């Protein structure tokens, strides 16, 4: 998505922690898969995005544990606008994600689009083994 901020680390509140995990190089969000969209009660939206190919982003400590994939989890707070357009026909839809200057986060492809404006956003990284992936239950109850 060409209109987004290239270094999305600059948009999240916990960029220092992420920079260490990814060696200062943010993974591109051009070909992600939307795994979850959770709309909370307190003007919060949580999005899980699976990265397509993580070989360049897997830390040695993760590889030793058998992790071959990474999921990014964005927690968006003080959401003032949320729009969903289109229809997801299958799980694992390939999308592009971008952060824009006015605190807008967009995830879209030709058939589907999520756009939200946020007050602040945090990102978490969840490495996993793609052959035995399970969502941890605690993510829903923070």
Residue 31 to residues 28, 84, 94, 108, Cα–Cα distance (Å): 8, 19, 6, 10
Over the stretch 14-34, which tens digit does the pLDDT of each residue have? 888 888 787 778 888 988 988
Taking residues 103-132, report their average pLDDT.
91
Per-residue pLDDT tens digits for 51-101:
876 656 566 777 788 888 888 999 999 999 999 999 876 655 789 999 988
The whole-number pLDDT of residue 142 equals 45
Strands 112-117 and 81-86, sheet pairing: antiparallel
Higher pLDDT, 9 or 133: 9
At residue 50, the 3 state secondary structure works out as strand
Contact present, 124 and 75 (Cβ < 8 Å): yes
Q: Which of 4-13, 23-32, 66-75, 104-113 is predicted most confidently?
A: 104-113
Contact 76, 48 (CB under 8 A): no
Look at residue 55 in the predicted model and tell me its pLDDT: 56
- Two tokens, residue 17: 């922690």
């Amino acid at each position: 998505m060409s209109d987004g901020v290239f270094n999305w680390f600059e948009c999240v509140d916990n960029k220092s922690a992420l920079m260490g995990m990814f060696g200062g190089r943010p993974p591109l969000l051009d070909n992600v898969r939307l795994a979850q969209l959770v709309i909370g009660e307190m003007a919060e939206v949580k999005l899980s995005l699976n990265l397509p190919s993580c070989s360049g982003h897997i830390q040695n400590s993760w590889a030793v544990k058998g992790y071959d994939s990474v999921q990014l989890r964005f927690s968006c707070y003080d959401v003032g606008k949320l729009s969903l357009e289109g229809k997801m026909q299958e799980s694992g839809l390939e999308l592009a994600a971008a952060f824009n200057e006015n605190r807008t986060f967009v995830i879209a492809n030709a058939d589907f689009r999520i756009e939200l404006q946020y007050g602040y956003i945090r990102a978490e990284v969840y490495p996993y083994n793609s052959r035995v992936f399970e969502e941890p239950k605690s993510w829903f109850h923070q």
